[in-house]
A and B are shown apart, each in its own frame.
Chain A
Amino acid sequence: MKAAADFQTVVEMTRSIPCAPAILPKLLKLTEGTSSDLGELEMLISLDTGLATNVLRTANSAYFANAQRCESIADAILRLGSKTLYRIAASTLTGRWLVNPVRGYGWEPGDLCKHSLCVAICAETFATSMHLADASTAYTAGLIHDLGKFALAYANFSVLDDIASRVPDEFSTWREAEKAILGYDSMEVTKALLENWGFPSTFVSVGYFYPSPSQAPDEDRMLVTVIHAAKHLATQLGYGVGVDGFYSNPDEQALREAGFREDEMDAAIPDILTAIQRFIRPDGSVHFT
């Protein structure tokens, strides 16, 4: 257990976690639009045994299968289509990364994965229904929005327990407490990780600005606001929410400017829940196929 927690150490430690979702930006580029390079996609997926297995299993599942079994990655790509393929890849890669046991936030193993998945589904729903952002981009942004918290937890600093014990009385938000006690916050860690992994600047903006989208650059503000809204809605739903979850402040100005209304968000909840329950079972286990 480490008592101190300097920023660079956290980032360096996290870089070494196996199966980090570093191939996602390339995958997103390859699967967006209609000009997917089948050969390159096949190669990228084949590099990761777990991902390749998930893709094949889904292509042969009752939902997608036809009389002909799908026995190659190339066939599976054609059968599933780029959107489904990307969803499987994003969920598999980040999900695997987010299920390691961690400390500091009161999470059970897999909690951050569940919560991130809920944020992704909420974000996709808002992006689609309100025409605020590309749905796949919003989904990915939801999955990766809080990687910095995972990195801090993975680094296993005892000072995280100090944050948890001091937040209710001394600080109004978790972010304020991180800043005061660590000297930096988890959003800065998310930003550094995403930059190191070569994610597009839009995702970096999401990771850094999602708690306060009004401060995001103009060109990214809409997506950042979608994630902000999705984050808060998902928190209320409870899946995988740790001790930090309810200590954040809604940015009402950004929400209003983006056109969010409380009654419309509440009205979307039944459909969001149905989507979430396709992936999260009543016992809390997550399944992506």
Chain B
Amino acid sequence: MVKTPQFVDDHMRTIIVGVADFKFTTDPSTCLATYALGSCLGITFHDETHRIGGLLHAMLPTAQLYKEKKIRETMFLDTGIPKALNAMVRAGAKKHDIRCKVFGGAQLIASDNFFRIGSKNIDMFYKISQELELDVVAWEVSGRINRTIKLNNQTGDVIVKIPTKPEFLR
């Protein structure tokens, strides 16, 4: 269900997560935000009991194509998600208490052969979420829209911003 935004007070600190990056916080009065997901996926991780929140901004589905190169693990879903979960657990979160929400994966007009990063990312996230038995409580993916998201570590709520539309919570 889409909630009306009643999000955070202006005094909450916000940590910005760049593209191909993961950050977490153990401070309940801190938000994690990432801008303009496009076809990338923004995945929030939140342990409500321990008030530990994380945000991954991954750009591509798999690091398999880049075996010859030095990679940034957080650029890819198949390397970034395990890394994010490990970091959350090391910070004190319990794996079975972590709830995930996934955003982004915007897609261009259907093309059979080009520019399918959005749909590939969504497919890969679904596969990984099954394999790792992630508790995914919100999907706000696909469509032709660019999303900016902000996780409130106090509540686990995520505010979603879309060009020309009112903000909403997931």
Task: Considering the complex, give the chain A residue whose CB is closest to the CB of B145.
Answer: A246
Could you tell me if B111 and A238 are in contact, using CB atoms closer than 8 angstroms? no
How many pairs of residues, A versus B, come closer than 8 Å at their CB atoms? 121
> Within 8 Å CB of A238, what residues of B?
19, 35-40, 104, 106, 146
Whole-angstrom CA separation of A113 from B18 in the bound complex: 18
B interface: dominant SS: loop
Whole-angstrom CA separation of A284 from B117 in the bound complex: 22
Task: Answer whether residue A250 sits at the interface, using C-beta atoms and an 8 A cutoff.
Answer: yes
Could you tell me if B115 and A232 are in contact, using CB atoms closer than 8 angstroms? yes
> Within 8 Å CB of A184, what residues of B?
none
Task: Answer whether residue B2 sits at the interface, using C-beta atoms and an 8 A cutoff.
Answer: no
Task: Answer whether residue A273 sits at the interface, using C-beta atoms and an 8 A cutoff.
Answer: yes
Task: Give the A interface residue count (CB, 8 A).
Answer: 42
Task: Answer whether residue A283 sits at the interface, using C-beta atoms and an 8 A cutoff.
Answer: yes
Could you tell me if B36 and A236 are in contact, using CB atoms closer than 8 angstroms? no
Task: Answer whether residue A157 sits at the interface, using C-beta atoms and an 8 A cutoff.
Answer: no
Task: Answer whether residue A248 sits at the interface, using C-beta atoms and an 8 A cutoff.
Answer: yes
> Within 8 Å CB of A270, what residues of B?
60, 66, 69, 71-72, 75
Could you tell me if A106 and B144 are in contact, using CB atoms closer than 8 angstroms? no
Whole-angstrom CA separation of A256 from B112 in the bound complex: 12
- How near does chain A come to B113, taking the closest CB pair, in angstroms? 6
Contact with B along A264-279 (1 / 0, CB 8 A): 0111011001000100
Could you tell me if A282 and B21 are in contact, using CB atoms closer than 8 angstroms? yes
Q: Which parts of B20-40 form the interface with A (CB within 8 Å)?
A: 20-21, 35-40
Task: Considering the complex, give the chain A residue whose CB is closest to the CB of B42.
Answer: A238
Whole-angstrom CA separation of A267 from B67 in the bound complex: 11
Could you tell me if B164 and A263 are in contact, using CB atoms closer than 8 angstroms? no
Whole-angstrom CA separation of A255 from B19 in the bound complex: 27
Task: Answer whether residue B159 sits at the interface, using C-beta atoms and an 8 A cutoff.
Answer: no
Residues of A bordering B, CB below 8 Å:
105-107, 161, 164, 168, 172-173, 232-233, 235-243, 245-250, 252, 255-256, 260, 262-263, 265-267, 269-270, 273, 277, 281-284
Residues of B bordering A, CB below 8 Å:
16-21, 35-40, 59-60, 65-66, 69, 71-72, 75, 104, 106-109, 111-118, 143-146, 162-165
Nearest 7 CB-CB pairings of A with B: A238-B38, A106-B163, A282-B18, A246-B144, A238-B36, A236-B39, A106-B164
